[in-house]
């Protein structure tokens, strides 16, 4: 990945994981669970079944349900 830099977020698009860094983003064919394991020890939060933002980017949360 030529955009290797500080990780901002991971998200799922079909069977791919979009890896977003400070240098851009790229799609990689893999499961989100495996991508999260590969990014350790980055402090992320799996906020939804298909997304994991970097914990530093999370500024709040609410339960709208």
DSSP-based three-state secondary structure for 18: strand
Q: What is the pLDDT of residues 2-58, one digit of tens each?
A: 677 888 888 888 899 999 889 999 999 999 888 888 887 766 666 555 566 555 655
Exposed e or buried b per residue across 11-24, where buried means at least 16 C-beta atoms within 10 angstroms of its C-beta: bbeeebbbbbbeee
What are the structural domains, with CATH classification, of the chain?
7-57 (2.40.50.40)
């Amino acid at each position: 990945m030529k955009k290797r830099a500080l990780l901002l977020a991971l998200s799922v698009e079909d069977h791919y994981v979009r890896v977003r860094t400070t240098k851009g983003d790229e799609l990689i064919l893999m499961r989100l669970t495996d991508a999260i394991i590969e990014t350790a020890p980055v402090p992320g939060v799996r906020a939804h079944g298909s997304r994991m933002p970097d914990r530093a980017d999370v500024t709040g949360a609410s339960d709208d349900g």
